[in-house]
């Protein structure tokens, strides 16, 4: 082969490899699994429960993700635990969410629909959160499952999973203000948590960023 043919050959080989990732991410279900794993390692059964899929379907999607080296697994007793293969995968997902919101009007519309449905819930900026935490009488609540909190969380945040929120609010002084976060800007649990807190008479806000976005910013 001459130089031009060699260059063309290697270019084609590279783009074939890039396409492996693209094809792997063409399923909304696999993107959902990756988003769940971005918040911490999970057993196949846990992924099935959180995604609403059966174990067999989750296993098939995980095999495709594994073939593309986007996830890896370990064994803990009888359980197979999956996690992201590299932190760069989580960073890529954040970029994908931002790109989609910027380029796809449907994504922006869905976000606006959520905001309009919960029109009493307001977002608070990272800078405001940090300032209020320093002043006291302000707490940040991580409403994800506790294992995700233990994997990584916003510094100073308390772990209060959604199912424990009512019991926690029974212990909070009346003048306490709160902010909640979950798995990122499109996670409705964050907004639902704020609405529940507000109905109990407290001031509360939603944090839009996920843990990864919070740290990277």
CA 16 to CA 68: how far, in whole Å? Answer: 12
Alpha helices in 68-139 (DSSP H): 87-103, 105-117, 126-135
CA-CA distance, 92 to 80, in Å (whole number)?
25
What is the pTM (predicted TM-score) of this model?
A: 0.86
pLDDT grade for 148, boundaries at 50, 70 and 90? very high
HSE-CB of 17 using CA atoms within 13 angstroms: 6
Average pLDDT over residues 46-63: 97
For residues 137-158, give the mean pLDDT: 94
Read off the pLDDT of each residue in 149-172 and give the average, rounded to a whole number.
95
Of the chain, the percentage scoring pLDDT greater than 90 comes to: 74
At residue 114 the predicted structure's pLDDT band, cuts being 50, 70 and 90, is confident
pLDDT at 214 (0 to 100): 84
pLDDT score of 217 more than 70: no
All structural domains of the chain with their residue ranges:
3-91, 106-216
**pLDDT tens, 164-212?**
999 999 999 988 999 999 998 788 999 999 999 999 999 999 998 888 8
pLDDT band (50, 70, 90) for residue 43: very high
Are 82 and 72 in contact by the 8 Å Cβ rule? The answer is yes
Q: What is the mean pLDDT of residues 91-110?
A: 92
Q: What is the pLDDT of residue 22?
A: 92
In the predicted model, what is the mean pLDDT of residues 81-102? 94
Tell me which of 24, 83, 182, 187 is the catalytic residue.
182
CATH 1.10.4190.10 corresponds to the domain 3-91? no
Write out the two tokens for 106. Answer: 């449907």
The phi, psi pair for 40, rounded to 5°, reads 145, 155
d(CA 194, CA 202): 9
Annotation says 182 is catalytic: yes
pLDDT reported for residue 25: 93
Q: For the domain 106-216, what is the CATH code? A: 3.40.250.10
pLDDT digit string, tens, across residues 120-143: 999 999 899 999 988 888 999 999
Percent of the chain clearing pLDDT 70 (strictly above) = 99
């Amino acid at each position: 082969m001459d130089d031009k043919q060699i260059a063309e050959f290697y270019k084609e080989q590279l783009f074939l490899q890039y396409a492996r990732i693209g094809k792997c991410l063409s399923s909304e279900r696999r993107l959902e699994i990756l988003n769940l794993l971005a918040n911490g390692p999970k057993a196949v059964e846990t992924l099935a429960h959180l995604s609403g899929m059966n174990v067999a379907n989750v296993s098939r999607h995980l095999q495709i993700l594994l073939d593309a080296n986007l996830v890896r697994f370990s064994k803990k007793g009888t359980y197979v635990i999956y996690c992201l293969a590299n932190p760069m995968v989580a960073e890529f997902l954040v970029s994908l969410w931002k790109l989609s919101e910027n380029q796809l009007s449907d994504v922006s519309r869905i976000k606006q629909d959520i905001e309009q449905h919960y029109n009493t819930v307001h977002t608070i900026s990272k800078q405001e959160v940090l300032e209020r935490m320093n002043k006291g009488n302000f707490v940040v609540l991580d409403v994800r499952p506790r294992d995700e909190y233990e994997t990584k969380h916003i510094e100073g945040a308390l772990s209060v999973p959604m199912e424990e929120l009512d019991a926690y609010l029974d212990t909070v002084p009346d003048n306490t203000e709160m902010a909640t976060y979950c798995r990122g800007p499109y996670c409705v649990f964050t907004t639902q948590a704020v609405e529940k807190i507000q109905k109990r008479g407290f001031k509360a806000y939603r944090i839009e960023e996920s843990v990864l976005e919070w740290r990277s910013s």
